[in-house]
């Protein structure tokens, strides 16, 4: 299989990223004129190729998002349950910064990262109020092709 490559960030990069997060939190707190939000919404989009989790407030304003690709996974590794749990772990850090302790979870898609993302969110101290599956289901689909004449 070859050697596994782990992407490591230097301390300077980590500090810059943390400062950017803190500045975004301060701007958002000033904009909403509330010191702490308690509830939010988490949208998990799990496809065959990637897992994307979006954190919003109750009104639907996007506060933060993370995907398996943005964390550093490449290729088919983005669609694994392990990558989905890492994405959820990264988003829990944002939720703590914003003061969100409770969240409604909306799950969309048929990928393998659905369950592991929810379990990882719960394991990192986020209280889950409800879980809803919003995967679009076709009622009858498109019209099928005409039969082939031979």
CATH number, domain of 41, equals 3.30.420.80
Q: How many CB atoms lie within 10 A of CB 8?
A: 8
65 inside domain: yes
Cα atoms found within 13 Å of the Cα of residue 97, Cβ hemisphere only: 20
Summarize the confidence of residues 99-126 as an average pLDDT: 92
25 inside domain: no
pLDDT for res 141: 85
61 inside domain: yes
Please tell me the distance from the alpha carbon of residue 55 to that of residue 13, in angstroms, as a whole number.
Answer: 23
* Model pLDDT for residues 118-144, shown as the tens digit of each residue: 999 999 989 999 999 999 988 888 888
3-state secondary structure of 77: helix
Full residue range of the structural domain in which residue 91 is found: 36-133
Residue carrying structure tokens 């490591």: 8
Residue 25: pLDDT band by 50, 70, 90 thresholds?
low
8 inside domain: no
Summarize the confidence of residues 97-119 as an average pLDDT: 92
71 inside domain: yes
59 inside domain: yes
150 inside domain: no
Q: Is the pLDDT of residue 67 over 80?
A: yes
**Residues 104 and 43 sit within 8 Å (Cβ to Cβ):** no
How many domains are there within the chain? 1
11 inside domain: no
Q: Is the pLDDT of residue 5 over 80?
A: no
pLDDT for res 33: 46
Q: What is the CA radius of gyration of the chain?
A: 19
Of the chain, the percentage scoring pLDDT greater than 70 comes to 83
pTM of the model: 0.72
What value, to the nearest 5°, has the Cα angle with vertex 86 and ends 130 and 99?
55
* Model pLDDT for residues 36-46, shown as the tens digit of each residue: 668 999 999 99
* Largest Cα span, the chain: 72
């Amino acid at each position: 299989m070859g050697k596994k490559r782990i992407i490591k960030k230097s301390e300077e990069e980590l500090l810059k990223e943390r400062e950017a997060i803190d500045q975004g939190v301060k701007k958002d707190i000033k904009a909403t004129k509330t010191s702490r939000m308690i509830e939010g919404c988490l949208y998990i989009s799990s496809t065959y190729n990637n897992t994307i989790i979006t954190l919003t407030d109750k009104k639907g304003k996007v506060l933060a998002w993370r995907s398996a690709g943005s964390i550093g996974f490449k290729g088919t590794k983005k669609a694994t349950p392990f990558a989905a749990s890492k994405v959820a772990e990264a988003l829990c850090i944002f939720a703590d910064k914003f003061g969100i302790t409770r969240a409604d979870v909306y799950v969309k898609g048929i990928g393998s990262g659905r369950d592991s993302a929810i379990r990882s969110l719960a394991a990192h101290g986020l209280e889950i109020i409800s879980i809803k599956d919003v995967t679009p289901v076709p009622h009858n689909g498109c019209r099928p092709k005409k039969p082939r004449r031979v």
